[in-house]
Amino acid sequence: MNSSMAKLVVAIVLDILDFTVGRVPGFEMVFDAILGVTAVILWGWPGLFAFWELADPTGQADGFVPTMTLIALSQMGKGKRKPEIADDV
């Protein structure tokens, strides 16, 4: 399994945890912060997008958006593309 696929699996598991454990009142903000830090560790700057979940203190809106999975999907394959060679003919 390549690293981007492994990160996708981790993201899916974390989103499932966010949909379940992350819904516990009083714990959702802490869990969203942990997920944000984890996203930055996994994907660097694009992982900062995960912190949007902290904007909803009720935890209701972010419970329906698989943020980690979306970040993983957006980052899959980046850095592995070969640069295109321009035809100067």
DSSP helix/strand/coil, 80: coil
Residue 81 lies in a domain: no
Domains in the chain, number: 1
Residue 1 lies in a domain: no
Please report, in tens digits, the pLDDT of each residue of the chain (89 residues total).
688 899 999 999 999 998 888 788 888 889 999 999 999 999 999 999 999 988 887 777 777 889 999 999 999 877 665 556 655 55
Helix then strand count (H, E) for the chain reads 3, 0
CA distance 48 to 35: 10
Residue 51 lies in a domain: yes
Print the domain residue range for 38: 13-75
Tell whether pTM > 0.95.
no
Crossing angle of helices 3-20 and 67-75, rounded to 10°: 170
Contact predicate 34/54, CB 8 Å: no
CA distance 89 to 86: 9
